[in-house]
Amino acid sequence: MARPVTIYTLQWGDLPFETVCEKAREFGYDGVEIGLPNHMDVRNTDPAYYRGIKDIIEKNGLKLFTISTHIVGQAVCDNIDERHKSILPEHIWGDGDPEGVRQRAAEELIRTGHAAKALGINTVVGFTGSSIWHLLYSFPPVTKEMIDKGYEDFARRFTPIMDVYKELGVKFALEVHPTEIAFDTFSAKRTLEAINYHPSFGFNYDPSHLAYQGVDYVDFIYQFPERIYHVHMKDVYWSDTPKQIGVFGGYSTFGDPHRYWNFRSMGHGKVQFGEIIRALNWIGYTGPLSVEWEDSAMDRSQGAIESCKFVKDIDFDTSAMAFDASF
């Protein structure tokens, strides 16, 4: 049976949730991945509130498999500054005191786990932030102790959250991504070690963030077969020739054609999704394939429609027998 194809709602965060669900149905999707904080308030503990969300989803013939908290999750471990004020809800930002912001973000992440349980789902996708991302390029020289402190900080902040998730029967899937505590295969392994392979902590697999860095994005799946809790389908293009703006982005905006790489709508980039499907089949992943649509040069509705069809066409079941078994 083909995996369900869902769409992440945050790229439609300017629209009411019910409108997004109507569009998802019209576009041909099987379900939605609810983007927080735009489309749900996890501070609400009224069971009727969550029944209302499920009613909207079911009314449109859709299913829900996960909710995502990238924006708030980013603030749990980050070095907080005015960038965060522009994206965080007011109740998380508060007076802007960095440690206060981190603490409130952690509390919100716990509330998100409770919200997932109230909705009857077992996966929360999100970011962690990182206190050491700014140390990525090792000059002036960065010591081992400085990096160690970053992973210790992550473990100290996230272990209590994951303990609550374990009690709730919910898993947290970190989207491996630049600016997070895990951004490639090597740092993902170190992240698991730092959190002592907590059973509630794993990964949201998104090939786009690995591909433009030059990381083997298919091998990543084989490296973490039991930790792929959710999958984002997102394409990216990178140049075969030198460009004015390199892999670090050169302070440019997404979509600038002078960049070495840009996110693209499904099928318009260079990610080899056929190999990804084979790898997901190999590890036995049966969860949703969720389109996180990001393409600054394309109309989002057209992109969403194309992406849904692309994913459904590219997905295939694994064989129940060896090809030569009938010889």
pLDDT (tens digit, 9 = 90+) per residue, 8-44? 999 999 999 999 999 999 999 999 999 999 999 999 9
Whether residue 1 is predicted with pLDDT greater than 70 in this model: the reply is no
pLDDT score for 326: 72
pLDDT score for 32: 98
pLDDT, mean of residues 137-163: 97
Whether residue 135 is predicted with pLDDT greater than 90 in this model: the reply is yes
Per-residue confidence at 2, pLDDT binned at 50, 70, 90?
Answer: confident
* Residue span of the structural domain in which 37 resides: 5-236+269-314
In a domain, 251, yes or no: no
In a domain, 115, yes or no: yes
High-pLDDT (> 90) share of the chain, %: 96
pLDDT digits (tens, 9 = 90+) for 40-99: 999 999 999 999 999 999 999 999 999 999 999 999 999 999 999 999 999 999 999 999
Helices marked H in the chain — which ranges? 17-27, 47-59, 70-77, 82-85, 90-93, 98-119, 144-168, 185-194, 207-211, 217-223, 273-283, 300-314
pLDDT, mean of residues 257-283: 97
Average pLDDT in the chain = 97
Whether residue 287 is predicted with pLDDT greater than 70 in this model: the reply is yes
pTM: 0.96
In a domain, 319, yes or no: no
In a domain, 253, yes or no: no
Whether residue 241 is predicted with pLDDT greater than 90 in this model: the reply is yes
How far is Cα 288 from Cα 76, in angstroms, rounded to an integer?
26
Q: Hey, is 164 helix, strand or coil?
A: helix
Question: Number of folded domains in the chain?
Answer: 1
In a domain, 241, yes or no: no
Tokens coding 269? 């980039």
Confirm if 42 and 72 have CB atoms less than 8 A apart.
no
Helices marked H in 229-322 — which ranges? 273-283, 300-314
In a domain, 262, yes or no: no
Residue 187's contacts (CB-CB under 8 Å, 6 or more residues apart) are 176, 181
Task: Say how many C-beta atoms besides its own lie within 10 A of residue 110's C-beta.
Answer: 16
pLDDT digits (tens, 9 = 90+) for 101-120: 999 999 999 999 999 999 99
In a domain, 325, yes or no: no
Residue 197's contacts (CB-CB under 8 Å, 6 or more residues apart) are none
pLDDT digits (tens, 9 = 90+) for 164-212: 999 999 999 999 999 999 999 999 999 999 999 999 999 999 999 999 9
In a domain, 298, yes or no: yes
Whether residue 213 is predicted with pLDDT greater than 70 in this model: the reply is yes
Per-residue confidence at 325, pLDDT binned at 50, 70, 90?
Answer: confident
Whether residue 323 is predicted with pLDDT greater than 80 in this model: the reply is no
pLDDT, mean of residues 298-322: 93
The CATH number of residue 199's host domain is 3.20.20.150
